[in-house]
Structure 1
Amino acid sequence: MKTATFLAALCGATLISTPAHAAPKWAGAWGYAPADSGANEPEQPAGTYRYRVRLTQAGDAMQLTFSNAEGDKPLAIGAVTIASPSGPVGTEIGTNPVHPIRFSGLPAVALSKGGTVISDPILAPFHNAQDVIVSVTFSTPSRPGRTNLGMEMAFAPATPGATFTPIKVRPYLSLVSVRSAQTPCTVVAFGDSITDGFLGLSPQTRGWPGRLAERLAALPAVQRCGVVNMGISGNRVLKAGRATSALDRFWRDVASVPNVTHVIFLEGINDIGAGTETGPDAVTAEQLLYGYRQFVERAHALGIKVIGGTMTPALRAGYMSPVKERVRQSVNAAIRSGKVFDGIVDFEAAVRNPAAPADLRPEFDPGDHLHPNDAGLKAMGDAIDLATLRRLP
């Protein structure tokens, strides 16, 4: 979408907020799952965050969800606005007009500890792969968790003369939905840091879900899925790690996404790695597969299909060992059997070293032997068979 068109829509007389029940159909177009912040992470003073968001679906209206689901205290949102970015990268809006966002008609809203708030819809044309700048002003201090390296955001304290400087924290914006007559499917990419894109440096393509969205954007609208990235670095399937467990956050981070039709699931390496090799704290293949099946049961209850991803190589990662590697391989073999999920994507095959299959390919390893770099994340996004999204009943 041309910036001028978007700005004209934002400034036009026809732009209004309407009750959510008037929207015919909504679909997820962007996401960032909430997670707790570390004890050593700094508190930010009252001020404004800017988030650069790339939509993965087109529509005639937008709605924003803000979450403090794992925050340590209540927050107060004083104002939210959206605007077009002034350049191809960064969070600057220059002299572009901004449009205020309201919550049940009010410009400010309380965000309780553990709470979520949803904005009034904004009526304007929004296009697939369009970037918007969402600015969120807090009148209280906040302590957001750390995030992946690539997403573009900035912060300015509420002091005279303060300027916006880049910051790397998890956004309080957790979901962007659009309304459209053509929303054939919405994919939630669900997982841990490898889905989150933790070591990805690209501001344009966040993790393998971002690459999937780029590929889907080239399809006709009637075949295009929206993509919502709900990866959390450090997350586990069976118990709380970073954020609550995958099983417990299904309802918050999957079921809450409008029009979700598919989940691409990649998680489990943190369960294996954080456990011991033997004893009650060891995670077995059977335990992890039980967790997978529980996740699938939750999804099937809502008519959602789950595509399972094989876990990527990690033998030389700090928390892995040959014993744990055998668990990973056993789980991957079960995934490939086709008896656990509705479909399969072989992420391991996309990034493993042919000469040492328990390791990442050298060109995909940023040095920690666990998280694929941007090239590896691209290979993972390219490994997804788009036809799978159409073949599943």
Structure 2
Amino acid sequence: MTKHGTRLLTTIALTAASGFCAVLAEKPPLPGRVTIWAPSVTIGGPAFNDQTIRMIVHPSLSGSSVRIHLSNLRSTTPLRVGRVSITYQADGATAAAGSLHTVTVSRATSFILAAGTEAFSDPIPMQVKAGQNLLISLYLPNKTSSATWHSDAFDTTYLSDAGTGDHTNDIDGGRYTRTTTSWYYLSGVDVLASNHSTIVAFGDSITDGYNTPKGAYARWPDDLARRLADSRHPIAVVDAGLGGNRVLTDAPNIWQGFSAIKRFAHDALDLPGVKTVILMEGINDIGNDAGPSGAPLTAQDLIGGYKHLIKQAHDARVRIIGGTLLPNSSASYYTESREAIRQACNQWIRTSGAFDGVVDFDQAMRDPAHPTSLRPSYDSGDHLHPNAAGMQAMANAIDLQLLTK
């Protein structure tokens, strides 16, 4: 990965007889580019074979001249992409009539991404509106290895059966016979939106939307995007939450990703148009007692991780706002010693002045009668993850003036 904002991306070369174009390099983003959607991607997805994947993208800001970010970043073999399309969603896997566009990369409709690389598409001449769902379809003509993916989309992805060919140009969704709740080989969408910017909500499963309704866009970053859209200062909001993720150490389940320290540049700082990050992460470090090098975790360990992320953001000239960690007594993670670490970290976030601003999610979400617990009306049932009402309360706790400076 290159310096902040460029995401210079390469792929392997093939002979002309292959019928596929090799993308040699991607130019830096143009001025005015703003990322409107971008999930974190990890290793460990399923394999595909002569199939089309049709995925929903829910834009957080309106714009034009769409670009798609395609990713083979976490896979171990080259990826042949036979064709890509984008359209407005009518219903389910069915496209809106007259809106389908073929997507090219370096002016080629078919191309190969080398293992460990990504690419931007060429700009697509279409307008998108905040909240108007898009369908992005990828045809994969050959058997793949384990996919680069985002496991917990909390949205519906549509798959054709293996061996049934290219359905990227289908308007009717009838050939998409299976569904999943993950995104594959797709790491972002950006648009031209002059005088706008992107906020990245960076965190773990709470930010990712665990226990929120499928397809409802009820995560706190979604709610924040809607608040901003209703204000005089609409700003794109990207959800870089990743279930099970930790600040300091890689999660043992590979689909929960590298540590926040390792993934921060790719998942947040390198996105076109990013201006501000809201960081709320650390409960998985605390709940798993996951200190550096296998040692028991201390509050100073986690604070050291926050300082590392703050430095990365400031070196990239990006503002970073700290979010306090939510109360979780009665959850499986909870012990008195772990609670002491949470309290110490929250106190540091509130008072150190190290962040460029603070959102006190803990205060907004706690039960007034039992301050170490989630308010019952915000609890999804596991005493750790908020429900839809709780997600809205988190979004409401953010002072919009912090984001519109």
**Aligned-pair distance for 1:20?**
5.7
Residue 49 of structure 1: aligned partner:
53
Alpha-carbon separation, structure 1, partners of 2:262 and 2:150: 21
**Is 1:189 aligned to 2:201, yes or no?**
yes
1:172-219 C-alpha deviation (Å, 9 max, x unpaired) = 211110112231x31011111111112211513151111111111112
Which residue does the alignment assign to 2:238?
228
Counterpart in 1 of 2:35?
Answer: 28
**Which deviates more, 148-157 or 190-199?**
148-157
Give the counterpart of 2:75 among 71, 77, 95.
71
Q: Give the equivalent residue in structure 2 for 1:141.
A: 144
Tell me: CA distance 1:164–1:213, structure 2 relative to 1, closer, same or farther (3 Å). farther
Matched, 1:208 2:220: yes
For residues 22 and 304 of structure 1, the distance between their equivalents in structure 2, rounded to whole angstroms, comes to 17
Q: 2:158 aligns with which of 154, 160, 167?
A: 154
Letter in 2 for 1:52: I
Task: Give the aligned partner of residue 184 of structure 2.
Answer: 171
Partner of 2:344: 330
- Give the 3-state SS of the residue equivalent to 2:401 in structure 1: helix
The one-letter code matched in structure 2 to 1:189 is A
* Larger displacement relative to structure 2 (108-117 or 68-77): 68-77
How far off is 1:365 after superposition?
A: 2.1
Q: What letter matches 2:199 in structure 1?
A: V
Matched, 1:112 2:107: no
Instruction: Give the TM-score of the pair, scaled to structure 1.
Output: 0.86
Contact 1:129 1:217 in 2 (8 A): no
Letter in 2 for 1:48: T
Secondary structure of 1:291's counterpart equals helix
What is the rounded CA distance, in whole Å, between the counterparts of 2:218 and 2:354 in structure 1?
27
Paired residues of 1:47 and 1:137 also in contact (CA < 8 A): yes
For 1:84, which of 71, 82, 88 is the aligned residue?
Answer: 88
In the alignment, which of 311, 314, 328 is matched to residue 328 of structure 2? Answer: 314
Q: Please state whether the residue corresponding to 2:125 is helix, strand or coil.
A: strand
Q: Does 1:294 align with 2:308?
A: yes
Match of 2:167 in 1: none
Letter in 2 for 1:227: V
Provide the TM-score with structure 2 as the length reference: 0.84
The answer to whether structure 1 residue 272 and structure 2 residue 286 are counterparts is yes
For residues 276 and 236 of structure 1, do their structure 2 counterparts lie closer, same or farther at Cα, with a shift above 3 Å needed? closer
State the partner residue of 2:10.
none
Task: Tell me how far apart the structure 2 counterparts of residues 133 and 278 of structure 1 sit (CA, whole Å).
Answer: 41
Could you tell me how far apart the structure 2 residues matched to 1:22 and 1:45 are?
32
Residues 314 and 114 of structure 1: CA distance in aligned 2, closer, same or farther (over 3 Å): farther
Asked if the contact 2:161/2:178 (under 8 Å) is kept, the reply is: no
Aligned equivalent of 1:101: 103
Change (3 A) 1:314 1:180: same
Hey, what's the Cα distance between the residues in 1 that align with 2:353 and 2:206?
24
- 5+ long unaligned stretches in structure 2: 1-25, 165-173
Given the alignment, which residue of 303, 307, 332 partners 2:317?
A: 303
- Distance between the aligned counterparts of 1:260 and 1:277, measured in 2? 30
Alpha-carbon distance in 2 for matches of 1:193, 1:342: 24
| 1:60 corresponding residue in structure 2 | 64
Distance 1:238 1:43 in 2: 30
Shift of 1:366: 2.3
Unaligned 5+ runs, structure 1: 1-18
- Rounded to whole Å, the distance in 1 between the matches of 2:178 and 2:29 is 39
Query: What does residue 217 of structure 1 align with?
Result: 229
Contact 2:41–2:150, Cα closer than 8 Å, also in 1: no
Q: Is the 8 A contact 2:299 2:345 kept in 1?
A: yes
Aligned mate of 2:383, from 360, 369, 377: 369
Looking at structure 2, the residues matched to 332 and 296 of structure 1 have their Cα atoms a distance apart, in angstroms, of: 15
**Counterpart in 2 of 1:12?**
none
SS of 1:103 mapped into structure 2: coil
- Matched residues in 2 for 1:278 and 1:233: separation? 20
CA shift for structure 1 position 91: 3.2
Instruction: Give the superposition deviation at 1:79.
Output: 1.1
Looking at structure 2, the residues matched to 158 and 96 of structure 1 have their Cα atoms a distance apart, in angstroms, of: 27
Q: Residue in 2 aligned with 1:132?
A: 134
Please give the alpha-carbon distance, in whole angstroms, between the structure 2 residues aligned to 1:23 and 1:335: 35
- Compared CA separation, residues 297 and 276, structure 1 to 2 (3 A): closer
Q: Aligned residues, how many?
A: 365
User: Which deviates the most, 115-124 or 302-311?
Assistant: 115-124
Residue 400 of structure 2 corresponds to 386
Residue identity matched to 2:222: G
**Partner residue of 2:276 out of 248, 262, 278:** 262
- Matched with 1:3 is none
CA distance in 2, matches of 1:42, 1:368: 28
1:145-166 CA distance string (max 9 Å, x none): 5633632321112444843332
Per-residue deviation at 1:378?
A: 1.4
Compared CA separation, residues 227 and 277, structure 1 to 2 (3 A): closer
Task: State whether residues 218 and 392 of structure 2, in contact with CA within 8 Å, keep that contact through their aligned partners in structure 1.
Answer: no
1:114 partner amino acid: G
